[in-house]
Structure formats: C-alpha cells, structure tokens
Amino acid sequence: MKNSIITYFTALLMLYSCSSTGYLQNKYKIPDYDKMDEAVFGSFIRIHLLTGYNVEGELIAIDNKQIIVLQEPARRCVQVSVSDVRKFTLHYARHKNYGWTIPVFAAASLFHGAFALISLPVNLITTISVTVSAQKAFTYSEKDMSLNKLKMFARFPQGVPSGVELSQIK
C-alpha cells in the first residue's frame, strides 16, 4: 500500500545519512576504527555556536580560550572562542552506513500482509535505531567529554607548537 510519509521520511533519512557520512568521512580523512593508533590527523569536529552558526573541520588544537579548526576546502584555520560553543560532535573513526536497511526492511513488510501492522513499525524502529546508532558510533559530544579532554583528539594535543603560524598548518 501507499506509505508516502514513510517513503519521504526514508528518502530524507537516506539523503541525510549519505550527505553527512561518506562525503565527510572521505573529505576529512577520518580513519577506520582499527587504524586509530596510526592516525596522524586531528579528529573531525562539528561545533555548534551560540550564534546559531556551525564550524566544522579537523580539530587542530584547544586551549582554555579557543578552539582551532582547519576547514576544508580552503584548508584554513579558524579560531572559535570556547565561550561561544553551544555544543559539539567529534567523529574520531569511520562508521558504517546502515541507511539502506530502512527502505529494504520496510519493503520486506510488504510481504507480511496484515502482519505488516506489526512488522513495519518493528522494522522501521529497529533499522532507524541501527542506522542512527551506527552514525553515532565513534563520536563524542559535550555530554561525553569536556573540552579539556577533547584535546587528546587534536592534531596538536599539546597546543599549537611555538613558532608555528596558523597559516602554515594545512
């Protein structure tokens, strides 16, 4: 039967998952989870500012006053005042995209006739949960970690080395 709302919802979710995962993971060289000990770059961070704007890129360094983020594609460092940060999400390893399971399992309910009444919500809840939990895997937010501990995921956990200009960092 026609489940146009579900179809649109699924399409949007797929679009969201595609736009926010594969593209970013490649763009910011986010490592696989089993290669974390060989990763040389800072983790990818998305910072939500109190002003409503977002800043995202490679986490370069953090101190008590500011966070330095290297943005693509300009490969230019921007400084964000710690006091302006509303929340953040840090992606330290690549996650798998399970977005495809949502339409596939929803379609499977078509074979269940009247029992789709049960199987469709079960399939949708489970696959959406799996997709969302996979997207949230290998991430930290301000709920998991303070800004002070976030340093560990910067390219320079010790702070920007003396003598190095931000413009030199690429």
Partner 1 sequence: MHPKFLSLSICTTLLVLSLSSCSKHYFRSNYRDSNALMHETENLKTKPFLKAHMKDGTVSILKDSWHFNASSQTINGAGSTYGINRNKIFEGNISIPVDSVAIFETNEKIISPEAKRITALGILTGIDIIVAVLCLANPKACFGSCPTFYINENQGIHYANAEGFSNAIAPSMEYGDIDALNNEPIKDHTFSVIMKNEALETHCVNEILLFAHPRAEKERVFHTPDNEFYKCKKPQLLTRAEYKEENITGLLQSQDKQEWFSYADSSNLICKEEIILYFDNIEKMGNPGLVLSFRQTLMTTYLIYSALGYMGDEVADIFAALETQEKKRNKLKSGIGKELGDIEIFIWDERKNTWIFENRFNETGPIALNTQIVPLTKRSPGTEIKIKIVLNKGLWRIDHVALMDIVEKVQPLKIAPKIILNKGEVDQKAKEEISNPEDHLISMPGSEYTFIFELPEAYQDYELFLYSKGYYLEWMRSVWLKEKNLRKLRQMLENPKKYLKEEAANYKIYEQNMEEVFWNSRIDTKNFSFYEK
What residues make contact with partner 1 under the rule CB under 8 A? Answer: 1-2, 33-34, 36-38, 40-41, 93, 96, 98, 101, 105, 107-123, 125-127, 129-130, 133-134, 136-138, 140, 144, 151-153, 155-158, 160-164, 168-170
Residue 164 CB, nearest approach to partner 1 (Å): 5
**Tokens standing for 22?**
């594969």
Interatomic CA distance for residues 167 and 170, integer angstroms: 8
Residue 51 or 111 having the CB closest to partner 1: 111
Residue 55 or 169 having the CB closest to partner 1: 169
Residue 133, C-beta contacts closer than 8 angstroms, at least 6 positions apart: none
Residue 50 or 125 having the CB closest to partner 1: 125
Contact at 8 Å (CB) between 81 and 66? yes
Residue 15 or 118 having the CB closest to partner 1: 118
Read off the DSSP letter of residue 64: S
Residue 162 CB, nearest approach to partner 1 (Å): 8
Please provide the DSSP assignment of 131-158 as one string: HHHHHHTTEEETTT--HHHHGGGSS-TT
Residue 52 CB, nearest approach to partner 1 (Å): 27
